[in-house]
Amino acid sequence: MLASIFLTTLIAPGSLAPTELRCEARVDPLGIATDRPRLGWKLEPMAKGLRGLSQSAYRIQAGTRPESADLWDTGKVASNQTFDIRYDGKPLASGQEVWWRVQVFDQGGAASEWSKPAKWSVGLLKSKDLKAVWIGYDAPSQMSRPPDPFEGTSWIWAEKGAPAYFRRVFTLKPGFSKATLWITVDDQFTLIVNGREAGKSDGNADAWRRPQQIDLTKQLHAGENTMQVDARNLAGDSGLLAKLILTYPGGELSELVTDAFWEVAPNANSPFVQARVVTAYGGAPWRQVGAKPMVLPAPRYLRKEFAVSKPLKRAMLYGSALGLIDLRLNGGAVGDELFTPGWTDYAKRVHVHAWDVTKRVAKGKNALGAFLGDGWYSGYVGYGGERRELEGGNRADAGCRLPHGRNL
């Protein structure tokens, strides 16, 4: 009788397993700004219901390939630390990719299986590593604010301190397609057009700072029309400011503005006299009124074509901007981030972002594009530029920094 005896040696596995590996508190980060990042992980029990578990030691390996240790092997380190463990292996270069894994030992000294490999890549640590220049596009002059709707008007009133009821009789030729009235009064008004109320101020203090835009297309007609404004001011400076804009076929415009041709009386039943011009629009004490319309310029579009003739092992894209940048490669977004590269004190530093675009770069012709916006750098709420330009200064346009195609 032949018998076969098999001796099986059972090795008890550790009760803990390392999971969710992090480098600088991120999963597989790209372009981190240090060559000695901090590593960490979480501990999970190998089975449900286990209690009183703890880590007694760890071992980390890092290398240029998954599951290799040609850059760093800590050996078994007696420690319960699971975060902020500083990489202390071979020196790392800008742009270098590092794979790493960890093994932990439980309270009884039993070792876990190695974790799944994680990775990180080093950013461009020195300014000379970013082989690029700042580029941008100076927006043309038409990007400034549109014309002020009250341009060419005058503030009018009765005698200083007297109540004012204004009237303007005018004749319109037929064919207009739109009639828009811009109006404000220091301080309150009721507008009556051809005997019917057509609009009024909001009744709150300083209403003159909030001009009204009123559509009078249906209230006006060809021939004679009458526009009346019952204006009230309890104290201080008084004035009426208005412009009627009529649009005719072909884009022809006709305007009627507040000027000395308006009539004024203490009330609707009193004799009317010529209105008094207080000051031309823009003069003291009102200057310009209302919220100045914002013109948010369209993003600038930048594009660069490049060719790849050799097989690629890895392609990294690094980019930054003074403002906001949305990078595209061969028609597709390179990442899912918003508001890249993020707010900083631009006088001191600007962040650089990194993307692994190996799968997006094709053999032959490629195209790298960027949408460039003002953001916090030079927008209306930025450090300067757009706002300074609109107040008479110079505009520092947004800019971005992109690697040349040959650096991919």
From residue 38, alpha-carbon distances to 26, 47, 59 in Å are 10, 29, 15
How far apart (Å, rounded) are the C-alpha atoms in residues 28 and 143?
Answer: 42
**Is position 160 within any domain?**
yes
**Is position 244 within any domain?**
yes
Task: Please indicate, yes or no, whether residues 119 and 136 belong to a single structural domain of this protein.
Answer: no
Task: Please indicate, yes or no, whether residues 259 and 300 belong to a single structural domain of this protein.
Answer: no
Task: Please indicate, yes or no, whether residues 102 and 138 belong to a single structural domain of this protein.
Answer: no
Residue type, 130: L
Specify the pLDDT at position 142: 47
Specify the pLDDT at position 235: 72
Task: Please indicate, yes or no, whether residues 187 and 273 belong to a single structural domain of this protein.
Answer: yes
For residue 239, what are its two tokens? Answer: 């004035």
How far apart (Å, rounded) are the C-alpha atoms in residues 264 and 373?
Answer: 50
**Is position 5 within any domain?**
no
Task: Please indicate, yes or no, whether residues 160 and 265 belong to a single structural domain of this protein.
Answer: yes
Q: Name the phi and psi angles at 388, rounded to 5.
A: -65, -35
Segment (H or E) for 301: strand 300-308
How far apart (Å, rounded) are the C-alpha atoms in residues 92 and 68?
Answer: 16
Specify the pLDDT at position 19: 96
CB pairs under 8 A, 24+ apart, for 78-83?
Answer: 79/55, 80/54, 80/55, 80/56, 82/18, 82/40, 82/41, 82/42, 82/43, 82/55, 82/58, 83/22, 83/38, 83/39, 83/40, 83/41
**Is position 149 within any domain?**
no
Task: Give Rg (Cα) of the chain.
Answer: 36
How far apart (Å, rounded) are the C-alpha atoms in residues 113 and 121?
Answer: 25
How far apart (Å, rounded) are the C-alpha atoms in residues 352 and 348?
Answer: 13
Question: What confidence tens digit (pLDDT) does each residue in 222-281 have?
Answer: 999 999 999 988 777 789 999 999 999 988 999 999 999 999 999 889 999 999 999 999
Domain boundary among 210, 245, 280: 280
Place of tokens 């390939």: 65
Specify the pLDDT at position 7: 33
Specify the pLDDT at position 293: 56
Count how many residues are written for the chain: 408
Task: Please indicate, yes or no, whether residues 109 and 170 belong to a single structural domain of this protein.
Answer: no
What does the DSSP 8-state code read for residue 157?
E
Specify the pLDDT at position 271: 93
- Assign 332 to helix, strand or coil: strand
What does the DSSP 8-state code read for residue 331?
T
Q: Are strands 77-78 and 154-157 parallel, antiparallel or unpaired?
A: unpaired
Task: Please indicate, yes or no, whether residues 345 and 374 belong to a single structural domain of this protein.
Answer: yes
**Is position 288 within any domain?**
no
Residue 139: which CATH number? 2.60.120.260
Candidates 240, 236, 168, 230; CA nearest to 208 is 240
Task: Please indicate, yes or no, whether residues 220 and 315 belong to a single structural domain of this protein.
Answer: no
Task: Please indicate, yes or no, whether residues 309 and 380 belong to a single structural domain of this protein.
Answer: yes
The low-confidence residues of the chain, meaning pLDDT below 70, are 1-13, 139-146, 290-296, 379-408
Cα–Cα–Cα angle for 298, 299, 301, nearest 5°?
A: 125
Residue 120: which CATH number? 2.60.40.10
Structural domain range at position 388: 132-143+294-407
From residue 43, alpha-carbon distances to 58, 83, 106, 181 in Å are 11, 11, 10, 70
**Is position 351 within any domain?**
yes
Alpha-carbon dihedral angle through residues 347, 388, 287, 247, given to the nearest 10 degrees: -140
Q: Name the phi and psi angles at 332, rounded to 5.
A: -115, 150
Task: Please indicate, yes or no, whether residues 22 and 116 belong to a single structural domain of this protein.
Answer: yes
Task: Please indicate, yes or no, whether residues 158 and 273 belong to a single structural domain of this protein.
Answer: yes
How far apart (Å, rounded) are the C-alpha atoms in residues 119 and 87?
Answer: 13
User: In the chain, how many domains are there?
Assistant: 3
Question: What confidence tens digit (pLDDT) does each residue in 276-309 have?
Answer: 999 999 999 998 886 555 566 778 899 999 999 9
Helix, strand, coil percent content, the chain, rounded in steps of 5: 5, 40, 55
Segment (H or E) for 21: strand 16-23
Task: Please indicate, yes or no, whether residues 158 and 119 belong to a single structural domain of this protein.
Answer: no
Place of tokens 């970013």: 130
Q: Name the phi and psi angles at 128, rounded to 5.
A: -70, -20
- What residues contact residue 313 under an 8 Å CB cut-off, 6+ apart? 358
Place of tokens 């207080």: 278
**Is position 3 within any domain?**
no
CB pairs under 8 A, 24+ apart, for 2-11?
Answer: none
Are 403 and 329 a contacting pair, CB within 8 Å?
A: no
Give the chain's end-to-end CA distance (angstroms, integer). Answer: 71
**Is position 8 within any domain?**
no
